[in-house]
Chains A and B, each alone.
Chain A
Amino acid sequence: MHFLKAITLAALLGTAVVNPALAGKSDDTLRVAFVEEILELDYNYTTKREYIIIADLIDENLFEINPETNAFEPAVATGYEYIDPLTIEVKLRDDVTFHNGQKLTARDVAYTYNWIIDPESESHPGPGHATWLKSAEVVDDYTVRFHLLNDYPLAIRDLATRVSIRPENTYHVDGKVVRNAAALEPVGLGPYRVASFKPGQELVLERYDGYYSNSPKGDVPIENIVIRTIPDIGTQQAELMSGGIDWMYNVPLDVAQSVQGLPMVEHLSGPDLRVSFIVLDAAGYTDPDGPLTNRQVRQAMNHAVNKADIAQYLVGGTAEPIHTPCHPAQFGCDTSIQDYPYDPELGRQMLAEAGYPDGFPLDLWAYRERPMAEAVAADLEKIGIDVNLRYVQLASLDQARANQEIPAYIGTWGSGGTADTALIANIHFNATTDRNLSGDEKLTELVLAAEATSDQDERRRLYTEALTIIADEAYWVPLVTYSVNYLVNSELNFPLNADGLPRLYSASWK
């Protein structure tokens, strides 16, 4: 009753003076807002981008990928050596400790990888790793051998990403399998340890004093990081302006631009490996004789979309138009392939030559960035295509695509922040994926061949061949690269990286 009286009084008088928690360098705490709810902290059982950001803070990999050079650098490993094409020996540092003070040994690494690939683990990296990793073996306290099932050129990349190393037997408690044993209080190796966690609400991290020296992440300047879920972007904006938070990301361009002139706020735009594209049903799954099975129609559509304007006005920042079915920064993404410059007149002419002088009706599906979807629809309508924009939830699009009910959709792909064409090619041009609407068996052969060899020149050649086919046949209409907009406290230094992954550990106060 006392509580209700207090609220009533405050509501009536409006004089309740409180001191909202102020962010900033005064208490050396970086306050971060996510739209997404953080429900668990074990990256071995999660996938979304926010979880990658958190895993980067509390976990370590054997190797790190340098975001500027894309080179693999030793992290808790000191290096690797191929004993033979199917055996990789990895040496570990001897001065690395988990957040509970326990020393990292080869047994922890072998346990983690053997658990991850065990189907019983049901871990998220498991299915991917199990395609190439047979087992991990302890050689001595600081040496692990990875036995491969086949030649896999991305093995070191996989050892540099995705698997968070856990202490031995983390997922086996009293002889029983406990898959979510590390969900709430993961014992990691990273520069920050979990101080408290309320799923869906707040995660408090504090700098781990025992973090190993000379790591690729370097010494972390800020003592504490608090990550809160604030679903409404307007509320986040108000919190930033009032000093309640220091950092927000994935900010819509118009929101970012509307506050960028304020003294307490800085607008940053960074690159992102995410690209957008239109996938066309060239195989005719939805209509065997439909217009999209005609190559000239698909080429006309490529000429119709004004990608440069979309990049500049709808995405902004560092966004750029692309003509490749991959991000130009990715290994193997050959940008010398066929380009279709913006030329709606030529598009209209090609459509007429293809037998569609009056255009045709098209269901174009999309699930994010509605303004971009509408701009694309408007451009296609300019050459005569009568677009019915089916803007839906992702799950609905996924379901319709699985049922082969989609003639064309605007897709996006972030490649998990990895700068290698393999990360986008396999998922979109392998015959086993429902995202592949090309029906082109040759493409499947090429993308699989590129993943079956360690010869980087050969991989590059195979990807060039595959990308050339995709461009010549116009299986896609590549659109733009993304740019991530950040709004940050103007007292914060926040370096941006080429791969678009926000690394909160590298932030510092001015």
Chain B
Amino acid sequence: MLKYILQRAALALAVALVVSFATFMLLNYATDPASALAGEDATPEIVEQIRQTYGFDRPVFVRYFEWLGGVARGDFGESYYWNKDVASLVLERAPVTIALALSALMVTIVIAIPLGAIAALRPNSWADRLALTFAVSAQAIPSFWLGLMLIILLGVMIPILPISGDSSWQHFVMPAFVLGASSVPAVMRLTRTGLIEVMESDYIRTARSKGYRGFALLRRHAMRNALLPVVSVLAVQLGQKFGGSVITESVFAINGLGRLALQSILGSDIPTVQMLIFIFALIFVLMNLLADLLNAALDPRIRIT
């Protein structure tokens, strides 16, 4: 088990390194960081001054390995755009995105699993069709559009929630719903399929013969097995919430990692983009690892050796 974890951790590191190299090269070759930092009306002198100040005139490979050396020493460098230590910048923003991602995951769980269960209890009934229609619709709605619709409805027409910012828990309600809703269809359908499959198994027939019916049957016997694949998907979805935060945080003006990533990319802020991609890649691999470990914990039959 320990060997497996170490292998996966090494893989995570390798992925992050490859991605960081590709990012560094793309950001340097696809654009000129000096002019991006200088802005639209900057004179060539200012652009040149920035180029020399930040060392953009030196070979890109040299700069990449310098950056890598810094990372190995725990130094993620200085942000060109924010004029600040990258590590502290990320640490400052991370709690907001973690809160948003976990809230969004809660929204997904609270909506998707009950809906999936309702649909599975009576397959092909009106409830099932309604749940599936909802799932298809939710899948088709882009997050930014849903965000704007919610803003118009709950921020402007019935002004019960703040529209933008992150200074109170109320500010998180709409963005968490938007970010969470995007995962509902996948989790709901998986719950439904898993439950329908489990409900046809022998041990459920036995439970039925003992008199268990409806939600009691689901809760006490069917859920544990049916939710195994759902757990894996939820772990991956949590990783995706970090990526999804880029758009959601911009729409709701939330100062988390997603907005930091977008602004850093637009500003060609290489050190910040590097670190964020490093972190996002690590989160994805670690979430997958977590999913495997959770499955192993829930089902002794698939223990990893």
**Are A and B co-members of a single complex?**
yes
Residue A345 at the chain B interface, CB threshold 8 Å: no
Contacts of B168 in A (CB 8 A): 18
Q: Mark B136-171, 1 if CB is under 8 A from A, else 0.
A: 000000000000100110111001111111001110
Segment with Cβ contacts to A, from B27-35, B186-194, B211-219, B236-244: B27-35
Q: In the bound complex, how far is the Cα of B195 from the Cα of A423, in angstroms?
A: 71
A402 to B42, CA, bound (A): 14
Cβ contact within 8 Å between A396 and B30: yes
Q: Once the chains bind, are A238 and B156 in contact (CB under 8 Å)?
A: yes
B32, A8: Cβ atoms closer than 8 Å: no
A122 at the binding interface (Cβ < 8 Å)? yes
If A10-B173, A18-B170, A231-B253 touch, whether A128 touches B43 (CB-CB below 8 Å) is: yes
B83 touches A (CB below 8 Å): yes
Q: Report chain A residues within 8 Å CB of B163.
A: 20, 235, 238-239, 242, 244
Asked if A244 and B40 make an inter-chain contact with CB atoms under 8 angstroms apart, the answer reads: no
Residues of B within 8 A of A14 (CB): 154, 160
Chain B residue nearest in CB terms to A21: B162
**Nearest-CB distance from B191 to chain A (Å)?**
18
Docked-complex contact A394 and B35, CB < 8 angstroms: yes
Supposing A3-B169, A127-B46, A239-B163 touch, asked if A395 and B33 sit within 8 A by C-beta, the answer is yes
Contact with A along B178-212 (1 / 0, CB 8 A): 00100000000000000000000000000000000
A235 & B151 in contact (Cβ 8 Å cutoff): yes
Contact A124 B46, beta carbon cutoff 8 Å: yes
From known contacts A47-B46, A127-B49, A395-B268, infer whether A7 and B173 are also in contact, taking CB-CB under 8 Å. Answer: yes
Please determine whether B107 and A394 come into contact, CB atoms closer than 8 angstroms.
no
A17 to B168, CA, bound (A): 13
- In the complex, what residue of chain A is closest to B45 when comparing beta carbons? A127
Most chain-A CB neighbours within 10 Å: which of B41, B42, B81, B99? Answer: B41
A234 to B253, CA, bound (A): 11
Contacts of A6 in B (CB 8 A): 169
Q: B155–A238 contact, CB under 8 A?
A: yes
- Asked if B76 CB lies within 8 Å of chain A CBs, one says no
Query: What residue in chain A is nearest B181 (Cβ atoms)?
Result: A11
User: What residue in chain B is nearest A180 (Cβ atoms)?
Assistant: B83
Q: Is the CB of B253 within 8 A of A17?
A: no
**Cβ-based interface call for B124 (8 A):** no
Contact of A7 among B42, B47, B165, B169 (CB under 8 A): B169
CB closest residue in chain A, given B177: A11
Q: Flag if A402 contacts B159 (CB, 8 Å).
A: no
Asked if A17 and B46 make an inter-chain contact with CB atoms under 8 angstroms apart, the answer reads: no
Contact with B165, one of A10, A199, A228, A242 (Cβ below 8 angstroms)? A228
A414's closest neighbor in chain B, by CB?
B41
Does A510 interact with chain B (Cβ within 8 Å)?
no
In the complex formed, the residue of A with least CB distance to B33 is A395
| Stretch of A280-288, A358-366, A426-434 that contacts chain B | A426-434
Give min CB distance, B282 to chain A, whole Å.
23
B159 near A7 (CB under 8 angstroms)? no
Residues on the A chain within 8 Å of B20, using CB: none
- Cβ-based interface call for B23 (8 A): no
List of B residues within 8 angstroms of A18 by Cβ? 160-162, 168, 170
The complex places the Cα of A428 from the Cα of B43 at a distance, in Å, of: 10
The answer to whether the Cβ of B82 comes within 8 Å of any Cβ in the partner chain is yes
A3 contacts B176, C-beta separation under 8 Å: no
Q: In the bound complex, what is the Cα–Cα distance between A123 and B234 (angstroms)?
A: 50
Q: A47-B46, A398-B32, A398-B35 are in contact. Are A11 and B156 (CB under 8 A)?
A: no
Interface string of B79-116 (1 = CB under 8 A from A): 00111100000000000000100110011001000000
Taking the complex as formed, is A173 at the interface, i.e. its CB lies under 8 A from any CB of chain B? no
The one of A128, A183, A231, A395 in contact with B83, judged by C-beta atoms closer than 8 angstroms, is A183
**Whole-angstrom distance between the alpha carbons of A180 and B79 in the complex?**
14
Instruction: Indicate if A413 sits at the interface (CB-CB under 8 A).
Output: yes
| Cβ A399 vs Cβ B31 within 8 A | yes
Q: Are B53 and A39 in contact (CB under 8 A)?
A: no
A10 with B170, Cβ < 8 A, contacts A128-B43, A395-B36 known: yes
> What does the 1/0 interface line of A1-33 toward B look like (CB < 8 Å)?
001101110111011111011000000000000
Q: Is the CB of B253 within 8 A of A235?
A: yes
How far does the Cβ of B28 sit from chain A's closest Cβ, in whole Å? 10
Q: Are A20 and B159 in contact (CB under 8 A)?
A: yes
Residue A257 CB within 8 A of the other chain: no
Within 369-404 of A, Cβ neighbours of B (below 8 Å) are at 393-396, 398-399, 402
Closest to A51 in B: B39
* A7-B176, A238-B151, A413-B41 given; A395·B35 CB < 8 A: yes
Residues A47 and B42 in contact, CB atoms below 8 Å apart: yes
* Residue B38 at the chain A interface, CB threshold 8 Å: yes
Q: Let me know if B32 and A128 touch, CB within 8 A.
A: no
Given A7-B173, A242-B155, A396-B31: A12 and B39 interface contact (C-beta under 8 Å): no
Complex Cα spacing A14 to B162, Å: 13
A124 to B50, CA, bound (A): 9
Residues of B within 8 A of A368 (CB): 40
Shortest distance from the beta carbon of A43 to any chain B beta carbon, whole Å: 13
Residues B253 and A11 in contact, CB atoms below 8 Å apart: no
Q: Which residues from chain B contact A49 at a C-beta distance below 8 Å?
A: 41
Min Cβ gap A321→B in Å is 22
State whether the Cβ of B250 lies closer than 8 Å to any Cβ in chain A. Answer: yes
B253 touches A232 (CB 8 A): yes
A238 with B170: in contact, given A39-B82, A199-B82, A432-B44 (CB under 8 Å)? no
Is A201 interfacial (CB 8 A cutoff)?
yes
Residues on the A chain within 8 Å of B33, using CB? 395
Cβ B38 vs Cβ A47 within 8 A: yes
Cα distance A4–B110 when bound, in Å?
A: 12
B255 touches A201 (CB 8 A): yes
Q: Which of B36, B39, B169 contacts A47 (CB 8 A)?
A: B39
Query: A12 to B156, alpha carbons, bound, how many Å?
Result: 20
Give the docked Cα–Cα distance between A11 and B106 (Å).
Answer: 10
Residues of A contacting B53 with CB < 8 Å?
122
Asked whether, in the complex, the Cβ of A230 is within 8 Å of the Cβ of B164, the reply is: yes
**A432 → chain B closest CB, angstroms:** 7
Instruction: Enumerate 14 A-B pairs (CB-CB under 8 Å) in ascending A order.
Output: A4-B106, A8-B106, A11-B110, A14-B154, A14-B160, A18-B168, A21-B162, A47-B39, A122-B49, A127-B43, A235-B252, A238-B152, A241-B156, A395-B33
> What 13 new A-B contacts, CB under 8 Å, besides A394-B40, A395-B35?
A3-B169, A16-B161, A18-B161, A39-B82, A47-B41, A122-B49, A128-B45, A229-B253, A235-B163, A241-B156, A242-B155, A368-B40, A416-B41
Nearest first, the 3 A-B pairs at minimum CB distance are A398-B35, A395-B36, A395-B31
